[in-house]
Structure 1
Amino acid sequence: MSEIEKKIEEAKRHADLNYFLYLNEKVVEEVEFLKRAGRCGALCGMTLAVKDNIEVMGMPITNGAPYMKKISDKTAAVVRRLMAEGAVVLGKTNMHELALGVTNINPHFGPTRNPHDPSRITGGSSGGSAGAVAIGVADLGIGTDTGGSVRIPAALCGVVGYKPPYGKIPMDGIYPLSQSLDHVGFIARSVKELVNILSAVGWAPRDLSPPKRFRFAVLMGITEPSRYVEKAFWKAVEVLENIGGFRDEVFLDSTKYSAARAALLLSEAAANYYDYLRSVGEHMGRDVATLLGVGVALPSVAYIVAKRIKEEATQYFNILFKKYDVVVTPTTAIEAVPIEQADSITMRRKLLAYTEIFNLTGHPAISVPAPATSSLPVGLQVAARDEDTLLAIAEAYEAAL
């Protein structure tokens, strides 16, 4: 049995975790065809778990909503780029409805279950992609990140979640949620594997040399993490110090930044899905319908002010990154909670508080596992002005950890 066949069987064996909405059982034939045609490049046979708001020609797409289901007639630019080097799509993954949520509890397709404790959430909205990478059936998860939707599930599932800078990876062939905030993101088992994959398609340098000494800021005052998360976070900070980092603590009142991101997100999401809210709103999940309704009701002045605050936030961090190579936070304020306790609306602040800032500013950010004290993973979030510095320090941290 080939490695890809083993991955298909493993995906089927873990069907109860609910990561895939569609499993591509032709993937073995596709790899064999590429090999025979001499078209299997640097990523030959590498398996992709593609979030189900991203188009792959000939495969179904739902955007997490059965009322939007269709068969795709094109493939998203990000997927095409990876497939050009021989990567293959293992399947389309379960997600939060319309990508408008962070728990991945989908009322239509069921929740995705945490690989470390199936009674708990994976986080979202790219939870299926994160879970598929965590159990080893996918080499790379592709998702979208509008407020943390790649980094949050990566943290809760114990893998790496990377949000490149705004606009670097094209959004062609991907259903939009909020055009001002949407990013394509990637999930991998390690920073090293992530860099190897991205370098194969020209999205990362092959040789990342971390600085022997660097300065980093711990952002304080955003929200109060749980004791479990806080303990793991400060252990991660110690690792950064051990590899040459000099730490300062910087207080940030992110209240207006959070409100601005919410105003942008909900206004643009309501515009994108207004027709669906009117026609099938009664079939939407309660959380999604509520949030879209808030977006419809927001005055235009709130959107305009939010745009100004977005520029202000970007400028603030541009200045901060002149003093510090990276800034760090926990990825989430809480560890994965039981599914029955994970009401999407009440969980939003606890899961989004640290990650959403860098969607507003557009700076690159990555979640890497922190040294957790039990089987439930949590993440360390690192953000920087430029990708090379970010990935180099993240890779050095990972090696030391």
Structure 2
Amino acid sequence: MNVEKRIELAKRRADLNYFIYLNEKAVYEVEAVEKAGRCGALCGLAVAVKDNIEVAGMPITNGAPYMKKMADKTAPVVRRLIAEGAVVIGKTNMHELALGATNVNPHFGPTRNPHDPSRITGGSSGGSAGAVAIGVADLGIGTDTGGSVRIPAALCGVVGYKPPYGKIPTEGVLPLAQSLDHVGFITRTVADLIRILSAAGWGPSELPRPNRFRFAVLMGISENTKHVEKAFWKAVGILESIGGMRDEVFIETGRYAAARAAILLSEAAANYYDYLRGAAEHMGNDVATLLSTGAALPAVAYITAKRVKEEATKFFDTLFKKYDVVVTPTTATEAVPIEEADSIAVRPKLLAYTELFNLTGHPAISVPAPTSGLPVGLQIAARDEDVLLAIAKAYEEEL
């Protein structure tokens, strides 16, 4: 599908509310690059960019109209893709300030699940995931501070990848919590992801298929819905069929979840304190409440949380000496109806598994699990990025 048809599709599916800004000049941008002979390995690749990432000449809102401005530079992650011939098709809807996992935005409206528009996409990179899922974009760029790439990928039935902490530059990305922030990628397949990473110089072009590997199913973290549980164990069976040797490992993650929350809220409050003081009445209730909570946390809570972060990283580093990868469901629930998104029970169900690897910084990917109903994600995490992607690719080929 060429860029012009993608723009048309985005307009036809405006009811899903994936874009805050649609770049209708993208058609001419591709033509100009082709005529100049400057189209590289990603020529014509359509990219949907989350609206907390700068693209020169396009507005940036961070999901909050009170922050809207025109960007005068382009984030290096986007610039690298453009250098290979990719084109930005638009800026995508997101959870306000990226501080949430549902993508129900009080200013721009909720993004709607492509499989059931009455349900959430998940967030905070929901617009990017939805745009990839319906075929408007080949690649969605998002940010992931607690699962914000992997969660919407899982709920929309696509692939969401969070590289290791610090690998992809965050310059030109509005921060939420610098100790946890990652830039991540959303694609329709693992094969597409590997091709794009390779073309941009972020990964190898070939990954050998694993013959045998050891993996741990992490248990005791959250209670899953029956739909998620059934799809997850089917996915585990596929991993075993491609040579995986399974163990089940029970872990207690309560301290880790509390530490991530303390770091997230403290750093977010510091980043947006001026807006909290001057624009709180314009914020969604959930975001204003979370920022206020972060502002009230004592310094000792933040310092203790950073120590727990180090402890969690060491724990998983040790675990990865025994296992090539560890697996969980990506989320403990499938996409919930939009009107239920504010329920106090929804947030932990979305974050329970993904937030672990923002705390530790290890690479993690969400790939679709086999299901005949609403999409479910399988999360795979590792210490070695190449091993992770090789196993994810082998799983996808078997699926």
TM range (shorter): over 0.9
2:160 aligned residue: 161
**Whole-angstrom distance in 2 between the partners of 1:146 and 1:320:** 22
Q: What SS does the corresponding residue of 2:345 show, helix, strand or coil?
A: helix
Does structure 2 retain, via aligned residues, the 8 Å contact 1:210–1:389? no
Are positions 1:389 and 2:387 aligned together? yes
Cα displacement string for residues 209-238 of structure 1 (whole angstroms, at most 9, x for unaligned residues): 132000000000001110100000000000
Q: What SS does the corresponding residue of 1:380 show, helix, strand or coil?
A: strand
Q: What one-letter code is carried by the residue in structure 2 that aligns with 1:93?
A: T
2:346 aligned residue: 347
Does structure 2 retain, via aligned residues, the 8 Å contact 1:287–1:344? no
**Whole-angstrom distance in 2 between the partners of 1:193 and 1:75:** 24
2:150 aligned residue: 151
**Whole-angstrom distance in 2 between the partners of 1:299 and 1:70:** 33
Moved over 6 A (4+): none
**Whole-angstrom distance in 1 between the partners of 2:33 and 2:282:** 42
Q: What SS does the corresponding residue of 1:161 show, helix, strand or coil?
A: strand
**Structure 1 unaligned runs (5+)?**
none
Cα displacement string for residues 218-275 of structure 1 (whole angstroms, at most 9, x for unaligned residues): 0000011101000000000000000000000000100000000000000000000000
Larger CA deviation: 203-212 vs 278-287: 203-212
Larger CA deviation: 259-268 vs 206-215: 206-215
**Whole-angstrom distance in 1 between the partners of 2:175 and 2:343:** 20
2:68 aligned residue: 69
Residue 91 of structure 1: how far off its partner (Å): 0.0
Residue 386 of structure 1: how far off its partner (Å): 1.1
Are positions 1:363 and 2:362 aligned together? yes
Cα displacement string for residues 141-174 of structure 1 (whole angstroms, at most 9, x for unaligned residues): 0000000000000000000000000000000000
Does structure 1 retain, via aligned residues, the 8 Å contact 2:162–2:185? yes
**Whole-angstrom distance in 1 between the partners of 2:344 and 2:295:** 17
1:106 aligned residue: 105
Residue 334 of structure 1: how far off its partner (Å): 0.1
Q: What SS does the corresponding residue of 2:309 show, helix, strand or coil?
A: helix
**Whole-angstrom distance in 2 between the partners of 1:363 and 1:258:** 16
**Structure 2 unaligned runs (5+)?**
none
**Whole-angstrom distance in 2 between the partners of 1:17 and 1:211:** 39
2:210 aligned residue: 211
Residue 345 of structure 1: how far off its partner (Å): 4.5
Q: What SS does the corresponding residue of 1:264 show, helix, strand or coil?
A: helix
1:115 aligned residue: 114
Residue 346 of structure 1: how far off its partner (Å): 3.5
Cα displacement string for residues 34-55 of structure 1 (whole angstroms, at most 9, x for unaligned residues): 0111111000110000000000
Root mean square deviation of aligned Cα: 0.7
Cα displacement string for residues 337-368 of structure 1 (whole angstroms, at most 9, x for unaligned residues): 00001106432100000000000000000000
**Whole-angstrom distance in 2 between the partners of 1:84 and 1:329:** 36
**Whole-angstrom distance in 2 between the partners of 1:199 and 1:344:** 41
Q: What SS does the corresponding residue of 1:21 show, helix, strand or coil?
A: strand
1:398 aligned residue: 396
Q: What one-letter code is carried by the residue in structure 2 that aligns with 1:395?
A: K
Q: What one-letter code is carried by the residue in structure 1 that aligns with 2:38?
A: R
2:132 aligned residue: 133
1:327-346 → structure 2 map (5 Å cutoff): 327-343=326-342, 345-346=344-345
1:2-401 → structure 2 map (5 Å cutoff): 3-343=2-342, 345-374=344-373, 376-401=374-399
Does structure 1 retain, via aligned residues, the 8 Å contact 2:210–2:394? no
**Whole-angstrom distance in 1 between the partners of 2:114 and 2:349:** 21
Q: What SS does the corresponding residue of 1:181 show, helix, strand or coil?
A: coil
Does structure 2 retain, via aligned residues, the 8 Å contact 1:287–1:345? no
Cα displacement string for residues 303-328 of structure 1 (whole angstroms, at most 9, x for unaligned residues): 00000000000000000000000000
Cα displacement string for residues 3-31 of structure 1 (whole angstroms, at most 9, x for unaligned residues): 11110100000000000000000001001
Q: What one-letter code is carried by the residue in structure 1 that aligns with 2:69?
A: K
Cα displacement string for residues 63-96 of structure 1 (whole angstroms, at most 9, x for unaligned residues): 0000000000000010000000000000000000
Q: What SS does the corresponding residue of 1:366 show, helix, strand or coil?
A: strand
Does structure 2 retain, via aligned residues, the 8 Å contact 1:102–1:344? no
**Whole-angstrom distance in 1 between the partners of 2:362 and 2:5:** 38
Q: Give the TM-score normalised by the residue count of structure 1.
A: 0.99
Q: What SS does the corresponding residue of 1:217 show, helix, strand or coil?
A: strand
Q: What one-letter code is carried by the residue in structure 2 that aligns with 1:97?
A: E
Amino-acid identity (%): 78
Q: What one-letter code is carried by the residue in structure 2 that aligns with 1:387?
A: E
Q: What one-letter code is carried by the residue in structure 1 that aligns with 2:390?
A: A
**Whole-angstrom distance in 1 between the partners of 2:166 and 2:344:** 28
Q: What one-letter code is carried by the residue in structure 1 that aligns with 2:312?
A: A
Q: What one-letter code is carried by the residue in structure 1 that aligns with 2:396?
A: E
Change (3 A) 1:344 1:164: farther
**Whole-angstrom distance in 2 between the partners of 1:344 and 1:187:** 27
Q: What one-letter code is carried by the residue in structure 1 that aligns with 2:21?
A: Y
**Whole-angstrom distance in 2 between the partners of 1:107 and 1:345:** 17
Q: What SS does the corresponding residue of 1:327 show, helix, strand or coil?
A: strand
Q: What one-letter code is carried by the residue in structure 2 that aligns with 1:151?
A: R
Residue 115 of structure 1: how far off its partner (Å): 0.2
